[in-house]
Structure 1
């Protein structure tokens, strides 16, 4: 749970400009994490989607999760849409 709180506290809203920035910084994927309003991981009824930029996909089986490549039409769609029920943000903790 603490990791979910930490990841959600250092974020910025998803925009096309942020997508270009993470792509230009060499990130090839984002890990998609669902968080509830009280910052617990949940993919069934999330209030937030936190996108964690990654340069490589993990190879260990225990680290398999939900990932989306950068660039992606889905991410571009999310960046341009407004959804009052689901907030989509990018974790900035590991960005330079």
Structure 2
């Protein structure tokens, strides 16, 4: 974890692009940010188990719950205060 309690070496969104964070290796060397390839980004999305947003924590499940459409977001980009589940094919 870094000083902001963020995992070191994980993807973060910077100005609309996902980049790896600067991190420190066990041997004391420093790694700098790099732009993630689409394959790397897809892999991170596939392995994501939990999304933390300003509207709460969303946990990946094997099948969607039967809840009203008004409480379902079809994209991570469209989450709002009424969202109870996200069905985003990019995060399968």
TM-score tier (shorter) = under 0.3
Q: Give the structure with the larger helix fraction.
A: 1
Relative contact order, higher structure (CA 8 A, sep 6+):
1
